[in-house]
Amino acid sequence: MSTTELCWMPATELAAAIQRRELSPVDVMEAVLARIESLNPQLNAFLAVDAERARTAAKAAEDAVMRGEAQGLLHGLPVSIKDLEPVAGLRYTAGSKFTEHYIADIDGAVTRRVKAAGGIVTGKTNTSHYGHKDMCDNLLGDACRNPWKRDRTSGASSGGAAASVAAGMGPLAHGSDGAGSIRIPAALCGVFGLKPSFGRVPHWPNADIWATRSHNGPITRTVADAALLLSAIAGPEPRDPMTIDNAPDDYVMAVVSPLDALKGRRVVWSEDFGYAPVDPEVRQLTEAAAERFSRDFGCHVEAANPGWDDPRELAATAWHVSYAARLGHLYDERPEWFEPSLGEMIEAGRHTSGVALGKAQLARTMFYQQVFDFLEPYDLLLTPQMPLGAWSVDAGPATIDGKPTPSMFDRLNFTFPFNLTGHPAASVPCGFTREGLPVALQIVGRWHADTLVLQAAAAFEQAQPWAPHRPPLG
């Protein structure tokens, strides 16, 4: 098997071959590291690569297999960690000049679970400065670029994770999602991304643990691979008081025969929530994808707009205040180390009163109830994921379908609502624009229905596979 073939094999197949002693973790790691070395200068998906320790761990994994020792779910598999989570002994920048050369001394909760399951950390993937926006550039170097068109953004803030998976630089990537940061780059890079239910995966360390918006989750090429990684990292964690205090489902088994779980389900399709601008080409492709749930999966599908209050203002208020509170003192110290976009957010947060923030929190409570009421008759909600294909790596789009989009939140209408509510949501590739840019359907589940979301995504993948489509990188 060639090194290129190894780089495109799903993690589930790699794991099975390793267990059968048909494939060495050393060969897998060497193939992935060689591809990173070849492609990362073009894409800047990784901010740090841990090649030597990865090689050592791969050899140890190989030896354990040969000794017949018990193996974890991820035994010998390469896994990347987004650079908003620490990995002990590895560069930990959070996309910031302030920590450009910092070496972490602890593992985050996700990293600990990846290692405990036998996964091998290959490196830290690129992110926007403290994950503040949906484009993957920072002041540390070149922007992360989209593998499908390198003059386009990968999306963010898990942009490096999605770009690396799309380019074959590893089958399993950790991402985090505070306003769409798993689903945005997954959609723009043509891979699968899951924002699990809030608290399904621990988030530690976390300076703003009570904000209850950020979710850790998998970015992969296949749904089964995401189920594998989620199974390894999900579950309660006492250091994160917001984690769900029960054992997760067996996600790996759940996606084996997904069609059985979908027959007769009630599904609602909303093309724009009644207020969100969507490119006509994206609208057409995602509507066609939604029709499969009726035609191919035996679901009862209807179209409806939710009629809930547009949550952009309350989301922006909470977002800006959080950055002002956490980073304002650094902004005062070295304003030249902040991009204008983050500086503007900090200033907006500083000009927000406590009463205004309190009203935003009250509005969030009301919004959750509105979403709950809308979803109560249905099992799943389908929407476009991103309202357009990947835009320029240098600047965000000025308009979408002729409507001005001055704020980042104007292009994230389908993502951040479910950070406010905590519902599980997946980004599923469903086609390409005329420019050859990926388009994705979003699948949203009811409260804690992570398994059904994975099953719906797996059924769609079986009907319309996306993993065989690869960007023009060689």
* DSSP states of 235-256: S--TTSTTS-SSPPP-HHHHTT
Contact 442, 416 (CB under 8 A): no
CA 294/CA 300 separation, integer angstroms:
6
Contact 461, 222 (CB under 8 A): yes
**Residues constituting the chain:** 474
CA 77/CA 301 separation, integer angstroms:
39
CA 95/CA 344 separation, integer angstroms:
17
Token pair 């018990």 in the structure block, residue: 70
Hey, is 18 helix, strand or coil?
A: helix
> 157 catalytic, yes or no?
yes
Helix (H) or strand (E) holding 193: strand 192-195
Of the candidates 82, 115, 124, 195, the residue annotated as catalytic is 82
Of the candidates 154, 158, 181, 427, the residue annotated as catalytic is 181
Q: What angle do CA 240, 241, 246 make, to 5 degrees?
A: 95
> 2 catalytic, yes or no?
no
> 427 catalytic, yes or no?
no
Of the candidates 154, 157, 158, 197, the residue annotated as catalytic is 157
Token pair 């598999």 in the structure block, residue: 77
CA 291/CA 281 separation, integer angstroms:
16
Question: Could you tell me how far CA 121 lies from the centroid of its own chain?
Answer: 17
CA 98/CA 74 separation, integer angstroms:
33
- Facing residues of 380 across strands? 267, 445
Q: In what order do the strands lie in the sheet with 78-82?
A: 46-49, 120-125, 78-82, 172-177, 215-220, 192-195, 425-432, 438-445, 380-384, 266-269, 300-303
Give the contacts of 60 (CB within 8 A, at least 6 positions apart): none
Active site residues: 82, 157, 181
